[in-house]
Amino acid sequence: MLIVDDLTLHYGQSQILHGLSLTAEAGKVSAVMGTNGVGKTSLLKAIAGRHPYSGGTITLDGKPLDHPTAFQAARAGIAYVPQGREIFPLMTVQENLEAGFACLDRTERGVPEHIFELFPILKEFLNRRGGDLSGGQQQQLAIARALITRPRVLLLDEPTEGIQPNIIQQIGRVIAQLRDQGEMAIVLVEQYFDFTWGLADSFTAVTRGEVSLSGKAGEIDREALLSKVSI
């Protein structure tokens, strides 16, 4: 279980997160929603050790992650799929996957076969360059690369952005499958409302770096949530 409590974050003098709290349980999809610029990516970057936070705490399975570097966060079991995917365009699919080995011990460096069960297309395209894949295929590769470390927490930053509808459905099925394995806490940052509404177990709406509404699926009101996360 991941617990983010009272997190604050700055870029220089400008404060972006104002005491944001969030929990994400294993076997659940915890959605974080909000319009552009409210701080969703900044939150994920703080959890993944990509940008320092200025106050508050992040705890994983009862252990505080004390301002980790990206390497330390990855070693602790946090995997991050960045917005825009950040595939290495000149490296092959195989090499992109192996980039995930960096934070594994030598004996653990292998691509788990179940990754190709989730994303059969990647097996077919192992020797293709990342940059030659479609947007949807790159998104699948970015998720697969994150799964290489067998993470406890999977952070997904707008995985449907710029992706064709049929691939979006496929990505939704993969997220549901990973959730149903029960071992991973999935934090899903999304702006595609219906996709997220149909998939997530809990919802946190962020407005200007603060939580403006949160609740569980089945309890939270759809219209109230929609009004917090649309312009």
Ligand X SMILES: Nc1ncnc2c1ncn2[C@@H]1O[C@H](COP(=O)(O)OP(=O)(O)O)[C@@H](O)[C@H]1O
**Chain positions contacting ligand X, by CB under 6 A:** 11, 16, 34, 36-42
- The SS3 of residue 230 is coil
Closer CB to Mg ion, 111 or 209, in the complex: 209
**Cβ distance to ligand X smaller for residue 37 or 64:** 37
What gap in Å lies between CA 66 and CA 72, rounded to an integer? 10
**Residue nearest Mg ion, CB atom distance:** 41
Least Cβ distance, residue 127 to ligand X (angstroms):
34
11 versus 62: smaller Cβ distance to ligand X: 11
Q: How far is CA 154 from CA 95, 143, 188, 191, in A?
A: 21, 9, 8, 18
Nearest CA to 119 among 174, 199, 183, 195?
Answer: 174
Q: Which of residues 80-99 bind Mg ion (CB under 5 A)?
A: 83
CB of 37 to Mg ion, least distance (A): 8
Picked from Mg ion, ligand X, none, the partner binding residue 223 (CB below 5 to 8 A depending on kind) is: none
Q: Print the binding letters for residues 11-40 with Mg ion: x by CB under 5 A, - otherwise.
A: -----------------------------x
- 168-193 residues labelled b (16+ CB within 10 A) or e (exposed): bebbbebbeebbeeeebbbbbbbbbe
Structure tokens given for 216: 């569980």
**Cβ nearer to ligand X, comparing 28 with 40:** 40
Q: 36 or 127: whose CB is closer to ligand X?
A: 36
Q: Distance between terminal CA atoms of the chain?
A: 32
CA-to-CA distance for 96 and 5, rounded, in angstroms?
Answer: 33
Among 41, 138, 160, 196, binds Mg ion (CB under 5 A): 41
List of residues contacting Mg ion (CB under 5 A): 40-41, 83
